[in-house]
Amino acid sequence: MSKDFSELFPNQNKRQKDFQCSIGFTMTVIGSKWRAIILWHVLQSQLIRYGQLKKSIPKISHKVLSQELRNLEMDGLIERIAYATIPPKVEYIPTPRGKSLEKILQELCVWGKKYFK
């Protein structure tokens, strides 16, 4: 694993380090149960608060949503903006790297629609 790589995806240090092909790598970034869906919602709204995200994805648990938002942030796909107010307010926006996945997520969505229901 190159230095560049580790810097781009610090989160990857915890994950599988050798891939058959780069599809395997991409899958570690968006291939979990919720990560693609969360990123998709962030991309759709451009800027979204935690609570709104939770409402948009009601079946995800509080813990997992927080957790995956951290992962997406650590992989540089979204940016977290926290306001030091009471009550707290946190917003998420996509980064350029996150936006670079928009087309793919769009296609995953279209493909799914075609065959689901």
Q: Which residues lie near a second copy (CB under 8 A)?
A: 1-2, 4-5, 8-9, 18-27, 31-33, 36-37, 40, 56-60, 97, 100-101, 103-105, 107-117
Least distance between a second copy and beta carbon 62 (Å): 15
The token pair that represents 70 in the structure block:
């951290």
Q: Specify the pairing of strand 89-94 against strand 48-49.
A: antiparallel
Is 117 among the residues that bind DNA (CB under 7 A)? no
Q: What is the greatest pairwise CA distance in the chain?
A: 48
The binder of 85, among DNA, a second copy, none, by C-beta within 5 to 8 A per type, is none
Burial annotation 30-59 (CB, 10 A radius, 16+ → b, else e):
beeebbbbbbbebbebeebebeebeebeee
The beta strand positions in the chain, using DSSP E, are: 48-49, 78-83, 89-94
Is 51 among the residues that bind DNA (CB under 7 A)? yes
Other beta carbons less than 10 A from residue 101's beta carbon: 19
Of the pair 62, 113, the CB lying nearest DNA is at 62
Least distance between DNA and beta carbon 13 (Å): 12
Is 90 among the residues that bind DNA (CB under 7 A)? yes
The contact set with DNA (CB under 7 A) reads: 15, 32-34, 49-51, 54, 60-64, 66-70, 80, 82, 87-90
